[in-house]
Amino acid sequence: MKTYTMDKKVFPEFIKLVKSKGKLFGPIKQKNKYSFEEINDSSDLDFDYQRTIIGIKKFLTPPKYKTMIFNKEGTEDVFDGDETNIVIGVHPCDIHSVKILDRLFLANIKDPYYAKKRDNLVIIGHSCLPDDNCLCHSTGTDMVEDGFDLFLTDLGDYYLVWVGSDKGLSLTIAADNLLSEETTEESIRDYVAWQQKRSSMFKKGMPSFKYMADIMNLNYDSDVWEQFGEKCLSCGTCSLVCPTCNCFNVEDIIAMNTEEGFRERQLDSCTLPYYSVVAGDHDFRPNRTARLKLYYTHKLKDYIGRWGQPGCVGCGRCVTYCPVNINVVTVSDALFGEVCETQEVCE
């Protein structure tokens, strides 16, 4: 992987250059939360953040988008995403989430709507320091080797710039005068020191995470599910904020004149009622327990069976946002506790 260094003094200029290549988005503070929003210049950016409310999936599978328009004459497919979207400040966990979405939408049957948006997305990653809710250390997604176009590691006065793709390479060629190809002894030392500091900062972990697939299998009928089901509000927040939750519904929406309309994809959640209802009103998952169990077994067990890796990237969004404290940590811990003979074994 090619690396450069970039002095922070020239960062505003770098942003100006990047912005000339497409629509630029980055983390912006809104009240007490962060969100990827369109930015004008480098002063809008706030890299001192842990997680945005919604991850980078909003550029790839937006909460709502049109797939077709129709009127009395006929139908026409709609493929959004003609312009290049560049997102800067993406953390390793979110880059991993894109890799997971890519597998789902592109590896088998290629979804044309996703493919279009993905082709026109440029990802410029940014290093981060964890807070108490970050779990990427346990899920093995705290580092990235690919999945980004450029990645910036903040080493104080300067950035280490990692090139991850051809798109990234052409950006560095354009930014030739802002980057230095020299990697000094000092920058290697800085990088190692930064890595050690970061590793020591992870507090919350899921030691049980690596055997979660087996534990879920063994605990399929555990009372733990009923307890969580009882608490769950079926609000769907977990799916909205989870960077790998992509389930969608499709709905046709007609104008008042009943002569035109559009077909729309809408982000769905398996925790919502009616998720598994078929024609004739038979509901395969009529209660919260069944739906919550689907959410967690699919994410933490079935993904491993299908792709060799869980559908959790440890971003901590469910930990932060579930209003009743149901998240990958509490669910994993409760299930793990069930199979432990004594609490000491668990710890």
Partner 1 sequence: MTEENKIREDHSYRDFPVEIIGLKDLTSDTRYFKVRCLNEDMKNKFNYKPGQFVIFSIPGVGEATFSISSPPTRRDFVEFGMRKVGTFTEAFFKLKEGDVFNMRGPYGNGFEMESLKGRDIIIVAGGLGAVPLRSVLLYAEDRREEFNQVFFLNGARSPDDMLFREDFMAMAARGIVDTRLSVDKDPTGEWPYDVGFVTTLIPQLAEKIKAENTTALICGPPGMYRFVIQELLKLNVPKDQILMTLERRMKCGQGHCGHCVVGGRYTCLDGPIFTYYDVQHEKELI
Closest contact distance (angstroms) between CB of 100 and partner 1 is 13
The reply to whether 156 sits near partner 1 by the rule CB under 8 A is no
Q: Which range in 9-17, 28-36, 141-149, 275-283 contacts partner 1 by CB under 8 A? A: 275-283
Closest contact distance (angstroms) between CB of 199 and partner 1 is 33
The reply to whether 218 sits near partner 1 by the rule CB under 8 A is no
Nearest in space to 313 (alpha carbons), one of 95, 38, 162, 165: 95
In the bound state with partner 1, the residue whose beta carbon lies nearer, of 111 and 338, is 111
Tokens of 126: 């940014």
Closest contact distance (angstroms) between CB of 292 and partner 1 is 12
Amino acid identity of residue 28, one-letter, is: I
The reply to whether 270 sits near partner 1 by the rule CB under 8 A is yes
- Tally of CA atoms within 13 A in the half-sphere of 73 that contains its CB: 2
Strand-pairing partners, residue 85, are: 23, 121
Q: In the set 8, 19, 66, 263, which binds partner 1 (CB under 8 A)?
A: 263
Q: Which range in 90-98, 161-169, 186-194, 290-298 contacts partner 1 by CB under 8 A? A: 290-298
Q: Which range in 9-17, 226-234, 300-308, 321-329 contacts partner 1 by CB under 8 A? A: 300-308
Nearest in space to 249 (alpha carbons), one of 232, 264, 262, 238: 264
For residues 30 to 69, the per-residue mask of contacts with partner 1, x marking binding by CB under 8 A and - elsewhere, is: -------------------------------------xx-
Q: How far apart are the first and last CA of the chain?
A: 39
Tokens of 16: 């100006």
**Cα distances (Å, whole numbers) of residue 112 to 70, 211, 299, 311, 337:** 19, 35, 24, 22, 43
Q: In the set 248, 273, 338, 346, which binds partner 1 (CB under 8 A)?
A: 248
Residue where the block lists tokens 């690919």: 146
Q: Which range in 8-16, 126-134, 190-198, 257-265 contacts partner 1 by CB under 8 A? A: 257-265
Phi and psi for 188 in degrees, rounded to 5?
-65, -45
In the bound state with partner 1, the residue whose beta carbon lies nearer, of 75 and 184, is 75
CA atoms of 99 and 144, how far apart (whole Å): 10
CA atoms of 223 and 338, how far apart (whole Å): 9
Closest contact distance (angstroms) between CB of 34 and partner 1 is 27
Closest contact distance (angstroms) between CB of 306 and partner 1 is 6
> ∠ at Cα 346 (340, 347), nearest 5°?
165
Contact 150, 218 (CB under 8 A): no
The reply to whether 256 sits near partner 1 by the rule CB under 8 A is no
Tokens of 2: 């090619």
Contact 25, 18 (CB under 8 A): no
Closest contact distance (angstroms) between CB of 311 and partner 1 is 11
Q: In the set 63, 112, 207, 323, which binds partner 1 (CB under 8 A)?
A: 112
In the bound state with partner 1, the residue whose beta carbon lies nearer, of 234 and 276, is 276
For residues 222 to 241, the per-residue mask of contacts with partner 1, x marking binding by CB under 8 A and - elsewhere, is: --------------------
Tokens of 269: 């959640």
Binding site for partner 1 (CB under 8 A): 67-68, 70, 75, 77, 79, 104-105, 108-116, 220, 246-252, 254, 258, 261, 263, 268, 270, 275-282, 284-285, 290, 294, 297-298, 301-303, 305-306
